[in-house]
Structure 1
Amino acid sequence: MENMRQLMQRHVYTIKFSVAFFYGVLVSLAVNYFWTPGHIYSSGVTGLAQLINTLTMHAGVWHISTGLGLFLINIPMFVLAWKQVGKTFTFFTFICVVFASVMIRLIQPIHLTNDPIICAIFGGAINGFGVGFALKNGISTGGLDIIGIVVRRKTGHSIGSVNMAFNSLIVLSAGFVYGWPYALYSALGLYVSARVIDMTFTRQQQLQVMIITDRPKTVIDCIQNHLQRGITIVHDVEGAYHHDEKTILFTIITRYEMEGLETAMEEGDPDAFVSISPTIKVLGHFTESKW
């Protein structure tokens, strides 16, 4: 049993290292192939590192490249993650940031286009997918992702929305450095990145589930085995067509748990009526997933 546990842990760590490397490649492609040629600033710490790189471009030995700046700015974020999120999470965040910093340095820019709109959209989409994929696999890309996770746990706001709230300075910087049209292009890139993050990282998207069944005990057992979610029961419900007795079950899940819900329903009552709708906000106790 102990050997099996160690094997599983090694497998999980291997996946996380692979995800961190994959993110490093994606963010380097976004920076070197799209954002830099198009004079587009990224969101959060990456955008701040780009800004520092631009401002110190002619500072000689004091020049701080984007990759180096990305690592240096993230150092206080590592401390925050260590205290507020967890040690394992912080370790893989550190690995993720190191991969990103190194890959931005190693992967040389290839000129594809200077069109700022294309650079904003494709750079934002590639970066957003990389960030969302990393978060989905339980690691952070550093910077505002860590702040976003801490704020989300306290307020319920999505990661992408938190990032957008912190990026006004980046947009203004793009306007001052490259001209105000580029501020709009950078804002477009930030919007695309935030939307792709929310589409990829679905763990923070909450859904209300209503189940109408005549096998409530079996369905409850299956859902709690697969999802470990609380369920509210409404007894003595009558179907209008056959006038047979039914039970309504209500629960809240995340979009990330949809597959588990479908499996539970297939096992518990494949003939049940299930209605799933987005939840704007949840008041009261709702358990967040642990990293």
Structure 2
Amino acid sequence: MPAPIPLPTEYRQHHTPLEDIQGLAIALLTSATGLVFISSLGFITGQTAGLALIIAYLSGWSFGLVFFLVNLPFYALAWKRLGSEFTLKSFFCVTVVSVAVDYIPRGMSFDHLDPILGTAIFGVLTGYGLLGIFRHKGSLGGLGVIALMIQDRTGFRAGYVQLIVDAILFTVAFFLFDTRTVAFSLFGAVILNGVIAFNHRRDRYIAD
């Protein structure tokens, strides 16, 4: 496959502060809602959110608190490698999602949620939410930061990096959860990372 041709500078997207605010607000609501779907089913996902869900299920702590705490060590790395704007936006995004995932269920609950439908909705919503966060120079922290660093340095797409990490995480999950839980969780993670892998293209969309 030929290498992608970078867009000329005049075609690159430039975000105003107002565009950043509205873009991140929509992306964070979308991401958090997707996570509510997967957590309501008792399933897990990949990356830092998956690690946080596992800890939350095993400890009884809220997902929001665990998600916020497990992301703290990654900010120093992000500040050094990816700059202050990215780090501050990532900290903001993680904080908002941590609060939103614990708050949204107060206004939305499910009497019945089909596991296939629920995991598919999770993958699509959170996948596109992450795309919006990436395109406004943010992240949901943790291993996503490392995935973006690898993509920027090597061209190896962030979604594929996350798939590799997810494979390791789900292998461990097989020893902690029943096969049904892991299988449905893996289904959702594949959809999420597929959305990112097919759509997060720096040669098509570069925000300055």
Q: TM-score, normalised by structure 2?
A: 0.83
Q: Confirm or deny that 1:87 pairs with 2:36.
A: no
Deviations for 1:200-234, whole angstroms, at most 9, x for unmatched residues? 3221xxxxxxxxxxxxxxxxxxxxxxxxxxxxxxx
Displacement after TM superposition at 1:90 (Å): 0.8
Structure (1/2) with the larger helix percentage: 2
1:143-154 aligned within 5 A: 143-154=142-153
Give the equivalent residue in structure 2 for 1:20. Answer: 24
CA deviation digits over 1:250-274, x for unaligned, max 9? xxxx233xxxxxxxxxxxxxxxxxx
Match of 1:29 among 28, 33, 43: 33
Paired with 1:201 and 1:53, the residues of 2 have a C-alpha distance of: 29
CA distance in 1, matches of 2:113, 2:174: 17
Aligned ranges 1:171-210 → 2 under 5 Å: 171-203=170-202
- Identity over the aligned pairs, expressed in percent? 26
Whichever of the two has the greater Rg, that structure is 1
List alignment gaps of at least 5 residues for structure 2. Answer: 1-13
- Summarize the Cα distance change of 1:290–1:121 in structure 2 as closer, same or farther, 3 Å threshold: closer
Deviations 1:96-143 (A, max 9, x none): 111111111211151164332222211111110000111122222212
Q: Any idea what the Cα deviations from partners look like across 1:135-183, whole Å, max 9, x if unmatched?
A: 1222222122210111112322101101111112432354344411222
User: Secondary structure of 1:166's match?
Assistant: helix
Residue aligned with 1:114, SS = coil
CA distance in 1, matches of 2:182, 2:199: 26
In structure 2, the partner of 1:6 is none
Give me the whole-angstrom Cα distance separating, in 1, the residues matched to 2:18 and 2:67: 24
Query: Highest relative contact order (Cα 8 Å, sep 6+), 1 or 2?
Result: 2
Q: Give the distance between the partners of 2:173 and 2:114, measured in 1 at CA.
A: 16
Contact 2:24/2:133, CA 8 A, preserved across alignment: yes
Is 1:139 aligned with 2:138?
yes
Preserved CA contact (<8 Å) 2:34 2:122? yes
3-state SS, counterpart of residue 138 of structure 2: coil
Any unmatched runs of 5+ in structure 1? 1-8, 58-63, 204-253, 257-288
Aligned with 2:128: secondary structure? helix
- Structure with bigger strand share is 1
Which residue of the partner structure matches residue 164 of structure 1?
163
Tell me if 1:255 matches 2:194.
Answer: no
Normalising by structure 1, what TM-score? Answer: 0.61
2:174 is paired with a residue whose SS is helix
Counterpart residue number, 2:47: 44
Counterpart residue type for residue 63 of structure 2 = T
Deviations 1:12-71 (A, max 9, x none): 233323333323322221122x212322212211111111110111xxxxxx31111111
The aligned length equals 193
Q: Distance in 1 between matches of 2:112 and 2:103?
A: 20
**Which residue in 2 is equivalent to 1:102?**
99
